[in-house]
Structure 1
């Protein structure tokens, strides 16, 4: 690895981050804090990945993810570090429901990702039939169900509690996170606390009740957090902080080839530049670096690592992704008189078993105070469509997706008004799937990456799909590379300058 300047010695390592989503931006931010020189290359013309700020009818909205888990600190910490601390806002309301069995039903309390620990609120909700409740109660009579090193969440829960719980509670909740099939999703990767309960061998409902009670005792703030103006402001603020610290950001700069050399890395970059409108400079077609961080989806990582880390590339090529679409609509508030559900809830989830088009609806102007204040005469809501292996509807055009969303909303809440504006944002291959054995696959990828000096990976594939998980993944990759760079520059290491 070639050497360059580090803090206190007048020398610093040059790290190239490939990928301008929140993970890549967070890695660049962390690397700059650690004293590295940083260049970030993003293939598209936009930064932020699945976080995207936009507007509808002149009102700011999120066109991708709209909130982050606040109980895990990395996302909130990053927002504060880049000057957004005073713009952090919890939801104005979090009274979500389930649209199932012909009506909107309250989300029962005392559950862990839909797995019940207390049958009383579940029975009161009407989500589960009497036969389904009786089936759950049998959990206490059943012998332990082996889970081994990993198990499919849906299959395990169906064996313990019956399919109704999986189909009407767990599937809609996990579907909102992964857009996946819970019957194939790894329990160990997706709900590790539940996996530990399952491994203990006792009644599952008892263990879940204890988890839920423990979580309730720890509650000292909001579960989720948004940002005034939209969570899509976060990557833009991080990018501004990266530039202010001396980092270079190039958009429309697709890395065509990544090659390991005797003393670092050489990257062949397509396109002349184009930055995202602020830097305004063309970039060179060849970039050299001491280290590289790959913060891109698995297909792109597999292609770039085919020569430098072929075994990791092979593993990455096996990762599946789900696609989805978000339909955002704006209505005149005075046209919604009498639609009480919009004033009482933050939205609802839809179990796939009910056969609807939409999988969720968010009443954004009800959920976020900043959005309500920005458009007091408008009501903004959005629906999501698409799940892994259930993407037929995504082949329809935008007008059809809006029409189908309105039809479902009409049945669910009695909405008959027509939107004054609508837009559809498609996230093709947006969410990595976590099947059984996912964590072992990630461990194998990282073991191969570790064999290659000056190489790191981060993002939703590795440590979780939420914003805090992606930021934490970025921190881990950045810290490991900073340590490796520092070690090569210690006195007696033999590292020297390269032109």
Structure 2
């Protein structure tokens, strides 16, 4: 008899899980993917804007991690990997644009000179003297990254350099993200005995020959998603799984109408709140740990404006804490990724942890905010030719202090034949999701072949 596998959630984590199950379990396995959305892919969503394909969820991945390039090569898509043009982002702080500090690790600068002009001279002097101050670091600890940086470098470095970076990645802040999630290489350097934060950041800096930091896929993430669906041979069940239970044959999954499907093993690849709800009856300890992971919501507004609109030669703008802007980030997509066309394309992101912008602000108000922000930052009155907008509700987990312990607790409490995947476990980026999906696929295939 061949096994049947259920994957609950059709985002990148679920689709890679299905693909890895197929590779491990063989052509006769049945793979059911449950997702009620209008398409598979989750927060990877490719649309057409002014005749050009654009991603209006996650748009890029960390190319220095091996997972995505390796998967593209495995799927015969290596030639689809593209990298940015090399123009640099800026930070909007103190009412004007500043260059992104060079030689930083996720916003934590390695030299005081790199933030001169971005922060005041008192802060620059504090950074310059930091290597001479005694360091109180507990190896293995995971304080909030903002707590460490504020103590060593000053609060302005947090609000004007670290927060803009973390807001873009997590829709959170340095106060809500643990140092081991935000800058694991810096935490490792401190564990290894770095005598100061300055020394730890310098040790964590990547080499100069490691290539571009970020990558994307020509044609958008849809190219990858379609290939994963085709290669996995999955059957898409377009419903939400409301509950699941075990019997002597395996697992039963049911929707709101009590229609039921049977599977020998299950991978839950949902956001943390939905994972907690689904696991509550069958794995209460795992559910409780997942429920403790906070989440944020955001909105991505993509627009095309007239070709030749005089945006500066920058890849975009990250917004410091406390600035009178609505957006937390602006990406000048045509500048960042290159390519001409009938329009200049850009993306704007709204919504941070703790606010209700994504849930409560109307499309019309968001579009008005976008126009205000573009005028304030660039002095440009940009009339959109076409606009796309998508709301990502509860899609961005907050990797608070001690997050690794929560992720371990989610996995530890699972019954045999059930595994988890998703961006709330080991990292919000696509590479981390691929790694977690591979781990989940391996676990359920092993459980059905003992």
Say whether the fold is shared (TM-score over 0.5).
yes
1:350 to 2:341 alignment: no
Instruction: Name which of 186, 200, 206 aligns with 1:207.
Output: 200
- Structure 1 stretch displaced more, 227-236 or 297-306: 227-236
Asked whether 1:472 is paired with 2:446, we answer no
TM-score normalised by L of structure 2:
0.94
Give the Cα separation in 2 of the matches to 1:204 and 1:435.
Answer: 20
Residue in 1 that maps onto 2:245: 259
Q: CA deviation at 1:20?
A: 0.1
Of 395, 401, 426, 1:463 maps to 426
Offset at residue 220 of structure 1 (A): 3.4
Match status 1:417 vs 2:382: yes
Where 1:354 maps in the other structure, the secondary structure is: coil
Cα distance in structure 2, aligned partners of 1:90 and 1:207: 28
Q: Does 2:237 align with 1:237? A: no
Distance (Å, rounded) in 2 between the aligned partners of 1:424 and 1:352: 24
Runs of 4+ in 1 over 4 A off after TM superposition: none
1:4-32 Cα deviation digits (max 9, x unpaired): 3xxxxxxx322111100000000000000
Q: Could you give the per-residue CA deviations for residues 356-388 of structure 1, whole angstroms, max 9, x where no partner exists?
A: 21111111112123xx34xx1211111111110
Could you say which residue in structure 2 is the equivalent of 1:395?
Answer: 360
Return the alpha-carbon distance in structure 1 between the equivalents of residues 198 and 447 of structure 2. Answer: 46
The question of 1:181 aligning with 2:162 is answered: no
For structure 1, which runs of at least 5 residues remain unmatched after alignment? 5-11, 272-283, 488-499
Taking the TM superposition and a 5 Å limit, the aligned residue runs for 1:196-345 are 196-199=188-191, 200=193, 202-212=195-205, 215-217=206-208, 219-243=209-233, 247-251=234-238, 253-270=239-256, 285-334=259-308, 336=309, 339-341=310-312, 344-345=313-314
Counterpart CA distance in 1 for 2:150 and 2:221 is 36
Which residue, 119, 137, 141 being the options, matches 1:146?
137
Alpha-carbon shift at residue 136 of structure 1 (Å)? 1.4
> Which residue number corresponds to residue 386 of structure 1?
351
Instruction: Return the offset for 1:471.
Output: 0.6
Partner of 2:90: 97
Partner residue, 1:18: 8
Q: Which moves more between the two structures, 139-148 or 415-424? A: 139-148
1:52/1:233 contact within 8 Å kept: no
Matched residue SS, 2:255? strand
- The answer as to whether partners of 1:138 and 1:161 remain within 8 angstroms in 2 is no
CA contact (8 A) 2:87 2:335 kept: no
1:73 and 2:38 aligned? no
2:447 pairs with 1:484? yes
In structure 2, distance between residues paired with 1:227 and 1:391: 31
Q: Give 1:279's aligned residue.
A: none
Cα shift at 1:285: 2.8
Instruction: Give per-residue Cα distances to partners, 1:427-471, cap 9 Å, x unaligned.
Output: 11110111112111111111111xx11010011011100001001
Q: What is the DSSP-based 3-state SS (H/G/I as helix, E as strand, rest coil) of the residue aligned with 1:92?
A: coil
SS in 2 for 1:221: coil
Aligned counterpart, 1:136: 127
> After superposition, what is the alpha-carbon deviation per residue over 1:245-264, rounded to whole angstroms, capped at 9, x for unaligned?
xx32222x211221012231
Alpha-carbon shift at residue 223 of structure 1 (Å)? 1.5
Distance, in Å, in 1 between the alignment partners of 2:270 and 2:32 is: 15
1:446 to 395, 398, 411: 411
Could you give the per-residue CA deviations for residues 216-273 of structure 1, whole angstroms, max 9, x where no partner exists? 24x3332211111222432232112222xxx32222x2112210122311111357xx
1:401-428 Cα shifts (integer Å, max 9, x gaps): 1111111111211211311122321111
CA RMSD of aligned residues (A): 1.8
Question: 3-state DSSP class of the match of 1:216?
Answer: coil
> Out of 37, 44, 47, which is 2:40 matched to?
47
Deviation at 1:108, TM superposition (A): 1.5
The structure with more radius of gyration:
1
Count of residue pairs brought into register by the alignment: 445
- Secondary structure of 1:80's partner? helix
Aligned equivalents of 1:75 and 1:153: distance in 2? 27
Give distance in 2, aligned partners of 1:47 and 1:392: 25
